[in-house]
Chain A
């Protein structure tokens, strides 16, 4: 009976990486016939040690497509559809999700996990979530109305670094590495105003005073003709001719600008160095050769990195030239010159700021957010979650478990730790019946764009939000239709009458998701903190957490990057990995490791109950009249 339902059951696999490959194989061999798989990534050499559906000849091709072809070779009778695309593409709307009986996530980033979670809630389709750490795994099920949704438990937000730390006062190697990646984009890649690398004079800590102007002027003089302008403008001014800009001479010049003159300039901001050790500028001429040979895991001398810097700038600029006018390079941890560039630039900066330099191998780990990954862990987790899938299809949701696999047996000699799924959290800002959230920020300093990008998209995982102010007039602040509210972008929220206690109704039509945002105005946020979600204490160590909380902090551990990984984009490795602190883990597991009774009744699954639909709560169908149609009487304001 179950076998019949398998062959007719349509299942969506999101992600065709480490877990995705295993999942596809397991599904096909378990008897699933109709499978759709989606992945936006292409195959990289470093995938081959575990993503067994791919071979060397496939490098550079679509993961989803090759996975499909390889799986079909083994099981020609299966009906597999592959999409080389992002699941966040609006094409994959609620209707798309409704085609499936089951959705299985094999993702590596939280943005996509959040999105699929919402789509599944909207479409009322069960979702099985999974992830692995190098030696710890987890899989769990989300069943609307009966279990927690992915976003019921707050997840620690991704670690980001304040701009001032990156630009002025790095104190850890990672700050220098982030800076070097920004620099790469500034010189060769896509423009991003948030990725500025030159000293930030607006740093409140520097507290610019008039009497400092003299020192500043001296520093400026040293620049000669070059004014204190952004790196990009400077690069542009050095030559509309790309050859001149990046030839050998200017490469030296450029490195002096970045590693000598900018540092001299930073030194003039002496407030910054009262409590810190001041940076030491580097002078190209004075550096002497100290060591040779490039080996991955070895730390070169300063001069070695100077040479590496020069060499990589030359290579990259010639790549840029080959690509022709207006071309951009995309930083990729697996592209040797790009990796060399970041290694060299980051190490020179580390040296300047008195940090111990790092080998290319280590820099690559940090710059690429690389997490070790092996075949065995993926195999284990994929085996587990297909069994969970079978339970759902057999209608035995109540027997589903969140399962943790420990690195080593816990005190009760258990490797696997199943936990009963929690019911939905009433306060969840996603699956509650009327989701509401309170956000604290300064209405005079927060722009509409920041609200859209930082708060709604980044923090609350929306794709194309529409925002309406609940001011009785239904003023539309942000419209997802192009060209309607862009003029508002750089205005402050206070310009629209938003103040303490204002309420914003935010809709994402694709996700069929409405969120009410309560505004709490404050002027007392810490420096570099743009906003705070009330009721959450991100990045705080969990104080004696309940089991489930602990569980979730593992699932979405600090390595869960906010961005999808692709071979050609910067972030993350293709397997989502959570580093499990064994202390916490042990505490969690010893507390929860009750062997679930394997009584006879559980095994007779044919007489399963069927009443789960009745327990489902109705989905909020409240449609906002706001941005849906623009010919009604809502006034769209654009201040000038």
Chain B
């Protein structure tokens, strides 16, 4: 067991550096369902099998054809005539023996007829090239079961993705430019005492040049506040004046020349961000005020219980501030000074987390749940990421497709420029309509291309009419979509396979923020767009 653990660590080394052991664990516990093993479908699954999801199940009632083999890497000539789910499972399984591959040789429609609860068991369902009717049925089953649903389609040189998830919470959103949480503007008492323990003037030279910049800024800020009516430097001019004061604090040698004190340079450099006022981000305030946060029941997911506990903390012990994050950046200092400063923050973070835990415990008790139903580890992680918590909510497919709730504004405003990626969304909808009427896609048979063009145009017009969309779709696009003949070029499938798998990993691991809610890729111009539909 220990040996397999070590070899897994080796095999997954490069990705552990992205999402950590706990992220990997969520992947290994995930069961992914793929509906339809087309080229796009198997490309997505390949990119999930390689990083090691726990299991996958392919649902596909199709038999492998010659065309399938032409663009799908995970089907070979020997698979022609076999069930597509089975053939693809065998080859996908080869890539990673840690993954358990399963298949169901049935069409999704049949499964939905006989056993809709079949789909409830999955961490995420990925539906590829579904006809509109199947997509809507599956979508509503998954929506009511709160199973995330990722709809994907490669149509000629267009890629399409739609994420359907009622609510997706993210604790580790991995923000790019997170500000440090240093509390220089409102030092807690332990930090205040620590600052007091330094006396920059009486230090020897070595200690002076090895004092962490946080202490330097804190010291000069104290001085500034006493001289400026307790108002911290706010605008550029004041901040510059404050920097100048720090610069003047650099020790001078016997000739009056300033010494080379890198810690002071760091202090000057960090003034701007260090003086940022500590406050609860507005996005988080909104979450605090949301229904889920304020109405805790025994059914409430752990995320919201913990969020509510943080809210309680802010209103009580925190006196308006979030729990201290407890980390400080690397800086010039000797080990002893750095570590003792680090410990001040770390211990305060531990105290705050403990206070949040108390609230969690109380909340759980109030709804009759045992305190251990939420682990200390999870609370700690949430407290550490409190400023960066994110909740993604998508509209349901039913809302998107209903004449009453269609997002007309988004569509018409995008279509102000007639070549916006939105046009491809409308074309895909029109093509779906064509399929519903003719049980085949436009242009699949060469001899029909001409007549299909006019048929597709009818579909476009009826779509626009139905939703009373006053937009213009160029004939060029109608020709182009007929020319595609529902082809699925491998390179476009490969691109979409990478993108969709990445989003699936975000959903599974609850790390990083997934897109919301529609993504269009245009392989002709190599452009893409995210739309809200």
In contact, A45 and B495 (Cβ under 8 angstroms): no
Instruction: Give the contacts of A358-385 with B (CB-CB under 8 A).
Output: 365, 370-384
> How far apart are the CA atoms of A539 and B445 in the complex, in Å?
58
The verdict on A416 contacting B70 (CB below 8 Å), with A26-B494, A373-B14 known, is no
- In the bound complex, residues from chain B placing their C-beta under 8 Å from that of A390 are 491
Inter-chain contact A373/B15, CB cutoff 8 Å: yes
Smallest beta-carbon distance A562→chain B, Å: 21
| B490-520 interface (Cβ within 8 A of A) | 490-499, 501-502, 505, 513, 515, 519
- Complex contact A52–B50 (CB within 8 A): yes
A93 to B519, CA, bound (A): 44
Q: Which 8 A-B pairs have the closest CB atoms?
A: A379-B498, A383-B495, A380-B498, A600-B476, A383-B494, A29-B490, A582-B176, A596-B525
Whether the Cβ atoms of A418 and B525 lie closer than 8 Å is: yes
Q: Which of A244-268 contact B (CB under 8 A)?
A: none
What residue of chain B has the Cβ atom nearest to residue A365's Cβ?
B17
Q: Which A554-602 residues sit within 8 Å CB-CB of chain B?
A: 573, 582-583, 595-600, 602
Q: With A and B bound together, what is the CA distance between A597 and B526 in angstroms?
A: 10
In the complex, what distance in Å separates the CA atom of A288 from the CA atom of B7?
A: 32
Question: Residues of A contacting B491 with CB < 8 Å?
Answer: 26, 30, 383-384, 386-387, 390
Instruction: Beyond the given A56-B97, A598-B525, please list 9 additional residue pairs across the A-B interface where CB-CB is below 8 A.
Output: A370-B13, A379-B497, A380-B499, A408-B513, A582-B176, A595-B527, A597-B419, A597-B525, A598-B527
Q: Is A22 an interface residue (CB 8 A)?
A: yes
Q: Does B252 touch A at the CB level, under 8 Å?
A: no
Residues of A within 8 A of B501 (CB): 375-376, 379
**A386-B492 Cα distance, complex, nearest whole Å:** 9
Contact with A along B214-244 (1 / 0, CB 8 A): 0000000000000000000000000000000
B residues 132-179 touching A (CB-CB < 8 Å) = 176-177
The answer to whether A533 has its CB under 8 Å from any CB of chain B is no
For B335, give the chain A residue with the smallest CB separation: A354
Check if A277 sits within 8 Å of B490, measured CB to CB: no
A595 to B525, CA, bound (A): 8
> Is A602 within 8 A of B524, CB to CB?
yes
Q: How far is the CB of B168 from chain A (nearest CB, A)?
A: 15
Give a binary string over B59-77; 1 marks a CB under 8 Å from any A CB, 0 the rest: 0000000000011111011
Query: A355, A378, A401: which contacts B498 (Cβ < 8 A)?
Result: A378
What bracket does the count of chain B residues touching chain A fall in?
Answer: 35 or more
- Once bound together, how far apart are the Cα atoms of A408 and B9, in whole Å? 28
Contact B94 A55 (CB under 8 A): yes
Assess whether B43 is in contact with A379, with CB atoms less than 8 Å apart. Answer: yes
A 404-435 binary contact with B (CB < 8 Å = 1; else 0): 00011100011110100000000000000000
Q: Of A25, A370, A377, A388, which contacts B494 at CB under 8 A?
A: A25
Which listed residue (B17, B209, B519, B527) contacts A596, Cβ 8 A?
B527
Complex contact B523–A377 (CB within 8 A): no
Do A415 and B528 touch across chains, with their CB atoms under 8 A apart? Answer: yes
Pairwise interchain contact B474-A413, C-beta atoms closer than 8 A: no
24 A-B residue pairs with CB within 8 Å: A26-B494, A29-B39, A48-B50, A49-B12, A49-B51, A52-B95, A275-B209, A277-B210, A296-B9, A356-B335, A370-B13, A372-B15, A379-B46, A379-B498, A380-B494, A384-B526, A401-B525, A414-B527, A416-B526, A418-B526, A595-B417, A597-B525, A603-B476, A603-B524
Cβ-neighbour of B419 out of A22, A55, A386, A599 (below 8 A): A599
Residues of B within 8 A of A401 (CB): 525-526
A600 in contact with B524 (CB, 8 Å): no
Q: At the interface, yes or no: A74 with Cβ under 8 Å from chain B?
A: yes
Q: In the complex the two chains form, is B489's CB within 8 Å of A30's CB?
A: yes
Q: Which residues on the B side are within 8 Å of A124 (C-beta)?
A: none
Q: Mark A340-361, 1 if CB is under 8 A from B, else 0.
A: 0000000000010011100000
A387 to B210 alpha-carbon distance, docked (Å): 55
Name which of A376, A390, A413, A415 has the most chain B CB atoms within 10 A of its CB: A376
Flag whether B86 is at the interface (Cβ < 8 A).
Answer: no
Contact between A354 and B494 (Cβ–Cβ < 8 Å)? no
Contact check, B259 vs A407: say whether CB atoms are below 8 A apart.
no
Q: Which of B260, B492, B524 meets A275, CB within 8 Å? A: B260
Instruction: Return chain B residues, CB-CB under 8 Å to A599.
Output: 419, 476
Q: How many residues of A contact B (CB 8 A)?
A: 67
Indicate whether A30 sits within 8 Å of B97 (C-beta atoms), given known contacts A52-B50, A375-B50, A377-B498: no
Report yes or no: A372 in contact with B17, Cβ–Cβ below 8 A.
Answer: yes
Contact status A25-B13, CB under 8 Å: no
Residues in B with CB closer than 8 Å to A55 are 94-95
The minimal Cβ–Cβ distance linking B231 to chain A, given in whole angstroms, is 29
A600 to B525, CA, bound (A): 11
Within 8 A of A (CB), among B425-482: 474, 476, 479-480
Given contacts A29-B490, A376-B502, whether A277 and B527 have CB atoms under 8 Å apart is no
CB-based nearest B residue for A28 = B73
Does A50 have its Cβ within 8 Å of any Cβ on chain B? Answer: yes
Q: Find the A residue at minimum CB distance from B207.
A: A277
Does B522 sit within 8 A of A, measured CB to CB? yes
A334 interface contact, C-beta 8 A? yes
Closest partner residue, chain A, to B14 (CB atom): A373
A interface vs B, CB < 8 Å?
Answer: 22, 25-26, 29-30, 45-46, 48-50, 52, 55-56, 73-74, 76, 134-135, 275, 277, 296, 334, 351, 354-356, 365, 370-384, 386-388, 390, 401, 403, 407-409, 413-416, 418, 573, 582-583, 595-600, 602-603
A residues within 8 A CB of B521?
A: 416
A384–B525 alpha-carbon span in the complex (Å): 11
Cross-chain contact B480 with A603 (CB below 8 angstroms) = yes
Cα–Cα distance between A377 and B421 once the two chains are bound (Å): 22
Contact pick for B505, options A356, A376, A386, CB 8 Å: A376
Q: State the CA gap A11–B259 with chains docked (Å).
A: 60
Q: How far is the CA of A596 from the CA of B529 in the complex (A)?
A: 12
Q: For B177, list chain A residues within 8 Å (CB).
A: 582-583
**Contact of B18 (CB < 8 Å), options: A134, A380, A602:** A134
Which listed residue (A377, A388, A413, A597) contacts B529, Cβ 8 A? A413
Question: Which of chain A's residues have a CB closer than 8 A to the CB of B419?
Answer: 595, 597-599
Q: Is A50 a contact partner of B522 (Cβ separation < 8 A)?
A: no
Asked if B10 and A277 make an inter-chain contact with CB atoms under 8 angstroms apart, the answer reads: no
* Residues in A neighbouring B209, C-beta threshold 8 A: 275
CB nearest neighbor in A for B51: A49
A583 to B176, CA, bound (A): 9
> Does chain A have a CB within 8 A of B110?
no
- Residue numbers in B under 8 Å from A573 (CB-CB): 14
Q: Which residue of A lies closest to B9 (CB)?
A: A296
Smallest CB separation, B344 vs chain A (Å) = 16
Residue of A nearest to B514 (CB): A408
Q: Tell me if A598 and B524 are in contact (CB < 8 A).
A: yes
Whether B339 sits at the interface, judged by CB under 8 Å, is yes
Partner of A45, one of B7, B76, B476: B7
Q: B71, B493, B528 — which one has the most chain A CB atoms within 10 A of its CB? A: B528
Q: Are A414 and B50 in contact (CB under 8 A)?
A: no
Contact B519 A46 (CB under 8 A): no
Q: Give complex CA distance A408, B170 in Å.
A: 15
Question: Is B416 part of the binding interface, using a Cβ–Cβ cutoff of 8 Å?
Answer: no
Contact of A375 among B17, B46, B531 (CB under 8 A): B46
Task: Give the shortest distance, in Å, between A305 (CB) and chain B (any CB).
Answer: 15
- Contact B476 A49, beta carbon cutoff 8 Å: no
**Is B338's beta carbon under 8 Å from chain A?**
yes
Q: Which residues of A contact B499 (CB under 8 A)?
A: 376, 380
Q: B residues within 8 A CB of A26?
A: 490-491, 494
Partner of A414, one of B52, B489, B529: B529
| Contact (A45, B529) CB under 8 Å given A52-B50, A374-B51, A595-B420 | no
Known contacts A415-B528, A416-B526, A597-B419; is A49 also within 8 Å of B14 by CB?
yes
**When chains A and B are docked, how far (Å) is the Cα of A25 from the Cα of B498?**
14
Contacts of A597 in B (CB 8 A): 419, 525
Closest chain-B Cβ to A361's Cβ sits at a distance in Å of 8
**What residues of B have a CB within 8 angstroms of the CB of A373 in the complex?**
14-15
A372 and B525 form a contact (CB under 8 A): no
Min CB distance B341 to A, Å, is 12
The verdict on A418 contacting B527 (CB below 8 Å), with A334-B10, A370-B17, A375-B501 known, is: yes
